[in-house]
């Protein structure tokens, strides 16, 4: 029991001083590190291309695709995952993560429906449209930003937050999708 208390105490000591300070640090990181590539021509083109394909999907179609992704992620299969994970935009996202010197853990680009367009690594699901990262950004409008609560990342054991923002097509000024970036708290504080 003492070992468990020590582990819990060590975890609390790793937290930023306040959630507000971490929230502010994430917003600075968004402005300083993410915005310069978040609306890149490659990213906008990939979202626009997928929006043409997914616009007519029913919720049943989306649910089926999401279930296929989840099954593949659990079974190391790849028919649904591979085209998303291995596309050029996903390679671009992996470079952004690598260039972040350990600050970013993952990047997800979503289309207007909340479906993954590109990912830096395999996600647990294909459809993000029912989550705050999409609902509180794309559905809100062009300037929307969502900062998640600070949580322990299951794969790293470190405290992480997510920054999500609406992606806008510069040609039309209209929202076309969303982007989410996972950020390690220790890297910012």
Contact (CB, 8 A) for 24 and 144? no
Domain boundaries, the chain: 17-188
Q: Could you tell me the pLDDT band of residue 111, with boundaries at 50, 70 and 90? A: very high
pLDDT in tens, 48-77: 999 999 999 999 999 999 999 999 988 876
* Between 12 and 111, the higher pLDDT residue: 111
pLDDT in tens, 5-41: 233 334 434 444 456 778 888 999 999 999 989 999 9
- Averaged pLDDT score across all residues of the chain: 87
Strands (E), the chain: 104-110, 116-119, 145-147, 151-152, 159-168, 175-184
pTM exceeds cut of 0.75: yes
The 10 Å Cβ neighbour count of residue 31 is 11
pLDDT in tens, 114-170: 999 999 999 999 999 999 999 999 999 999 999 998 888 776 788 899 999 999 999
CATH class of 17-188: alpha beta
């Amino acid at each position: 029991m003492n070992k468990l208390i020590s582990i819990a105490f060590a975890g609390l000591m790793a937290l930023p001083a306040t959630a507000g300070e971490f929230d502010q640090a994430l917003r600075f990181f968004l402005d300083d590190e993410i915005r310069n590539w978040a609306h890149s021509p490659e990213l906008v083109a990939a979202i626009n291309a997928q929006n043409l394909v997914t616009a007519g999907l029913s919720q049943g179609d989306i649910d089926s695709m999401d279930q296929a992704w989840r099954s593949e992620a659990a079974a190391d299969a790849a028919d649904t995952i591979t085209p998303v994970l291995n596309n050029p935009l996903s390679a671009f996202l992996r470079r952004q993560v690598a260039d972040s010197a350990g600050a970013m853990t993952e990047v997800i680009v979503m289309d207007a429906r909340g479906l993954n367009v590109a990912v830096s690594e395999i996600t647990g699901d294909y459809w993000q449209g029912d989550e705050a990262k999409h609902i509180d950004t794309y559905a809100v409008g062009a300037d929307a930003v969502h900062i998640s609560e600070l949580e322990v990342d299951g794969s790293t054991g470190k405290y992480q937050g997510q920054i999500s923002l609406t992606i806008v097509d510069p040609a039309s000024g209209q929202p076309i999708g969303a982007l989410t970036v996972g950020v390690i708290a220790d890297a910012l504080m």
